[in-house]
Amino acid sequence: MNGTGDCWTEQERLEKVDPEMYDLIRKEKNRQRKGLELIASENFASRAVLEPLSSCLNNKYSEGQPGQRYYGGNEYIDQIELLCQKRALQLYGLDPEKWGVNVQPLSGSPANFAVYTGVVGPHGRIMGLDLPDGGHLSHGFMTSSRKVSATSVFFESFPYKLDPATGLIDYDKLAETARLFHPQIIIAGISCYSRHLDYKRFKEIADENDAYLLADMAHISGLVAAGVIPSPFEHCDIVTTTTHKTLRGARSGMIFFRKGVRKVLKNGTEVKYDLEKRINEAVFPGLQGGPHNHQIAAVAVALREANTPAFKTYQQQVLVNAKVMSKRFQEKGFTVVSGGTDTHLILVDLRPQGLDGARAEKVLEEIGVACNKNTCPGDKSALKPSGLRFGSPALTSRNLKATDFEQVVDFIIEGINLTKEVASSCGPTLKEFRAKLETDEAVRAKIQAVKGRVEAFAEKFPMPGFDEL
Ligand SMILES: *Cc1c(COP(=O)(O)O)cnc(C)c1O
Question: For the residues 342-368, what does the mean pLDDT come to?
Answer: 96
With contact defined as beta carbons under 8 Å apart, do 250 and 243 qualify?
A: yes
pLDDT classification of 6: cutoffs 50, 70, 90: low
Task: For 95-134, write each residue's pLDDT tens digit.
Answer: 999 999 999 999 999 999 999 999 999 999 999 999 999 9
pLDDT of residue 468: 52
Task: Compute CA distances 242 → 83, 247, 325, 366, whole Å.
Answer: 18, 8, 25, 29
pLDDT band at 384 (very low <50, low <70, confident <90, very high): confident
pLDDT tens readout for residues 142-178: 988 999 999 999 999 999 999 999 999 999 999 999 9
Kindly give the distance from the C-alpha atom of residue 218 to the centroid of ligand 1, in angstroms, as a whole number.
6
- Quick check: 293 and 81 in contact, CB under 8 A? yes
The catalytic residues are 192, 244
Query: Does the C-beta of 218 come closer than 6 Å to ligand 1?
Result: yes
* C-alpha closest to that of 237 among 199, 265, 266, 208: 199
What integer is the mean pLDDT of 275-281? 98
Say what percent of the chain tops pLDDT 90. 91
| DSSP class per residue in 398-432 | TT--HHHHHHHHHHHHHHHHHHHHHHTTS-SSHHH
Q: Helix 402-423 to helix 430-439 angle, to the nearest 10 degrees?
A: 110
Q: Is 219 left (phi over 0), alpha (psi -120 to 50) or beta?
A: alpha
Helix (H, G, I), strand (E, B) or coil at 58: helix
Query: 191 C-alpha vs ligand 1 centroid, how far in Å?
Result: 7
Would you say residue 73 has pLDDT above 70? yes
State whether the beta carbon of 191 lies less than 6 angstroms from ligand 1.
Answer: yes
Secondary structure of 235-286 in the HEC alphabet? CCCEEEEECCCCCCCCCCEEEEEECCEEEECCCCCEEECCHHHHHHHHHHHH
Amino acid identity, residue 288?
Q
Q: What is the DSSP string of 116-152?
A: HHHHT-TT-EEE-B-GGGT--GGGT-B-SS-B-SHHH
Does the CB atom of residue 135 touch ligand 1 within 6 A?
Answer: no
Please provide the average confidence, as pLDDT, over all residues in the chain.
95
Give the separation between CA 12 and CA 15, rounded to whole angstroms.
8
Q: pLDDT confidence of 314, banded at 50, 70, 90? A: very high
C-beta separation of 242 from 251 below 8 A:
yes
Residue 326 Cβ inside 6 Å of ligand 1? The answer reads: no
Quote the pLDDT of residue 4. 61
CA of 136 to the centre of ligand 1 (A): 7
Torsional sign, CA 380, 384, 385, 386 = negative
Please give the average per-residue pLDDT across 402-420, as a whole number: 97
Does the reported pTM lie above 0.85? Answer: yes
Mutate to test the pocket of ligand 1, among 187, 191, 193 (most ligand atoms within 8 A of CB): 191
Atom of ligand 1 nearest to the CA of 135: 13
**What does the alpha-carbon distance between residue 118 and residue 139 come to, in Å, rounded to a whole number?**
15
The CA distance from 155 to 399, in Å, is 43
Q: Whose CA is nearest to atom 5 of ligand 1?
A: 108
Q: Which of 221, 219, 189 is nearest to 202 (CA)?
A: 189
Closest residue to atom 4 of ligand 1, CA basis: 108
Task: Measure 112 CA to ligand 1 centroid, in angstroms.
Answer: 9
The 10 Å Cβ neighbour count of residue 237 is 21
What is the helix, strand, coil percentage profile of the chain, to 5?
45, 15, 40
Q: What's the rounded Cα separation, in Å, for the pair 419 and 422?
A: 5
Query: Using CA atoms, how far apart are residues 232 and 238, in angstroms rounded to an integer?
Result: 9
For residue 140 and ligand 1, the question of a CB distance below 6 A is answered with no
Q: Beginning with the edge strand found earlier in the chain, give each strand of the sheet holding 387-391 in spatial order.
A: 335-336, 345-349, 387-391, 372-374
**CA of 138 relative to ligand 1 center, distance in Å:** 7
389 lines ligand 1 (CB under 6 A): no
Question: Residue 469: pLDDT above 50?
Answer: no
Sign of the dihedral defined by the CA atoms of residues 110, 116, 118, 119, in that order: positive
Q: How far is the CA of 53 from the centre of ligand 1 (A)?
A: 20
With a 6 A CB cut-off, is 315 part of the ligand 1 pocket? no
8 A C-beta contact, residue 402 and residue 320: yes
**122-133 pLDDT, tens per residue?**
999 999 999 999
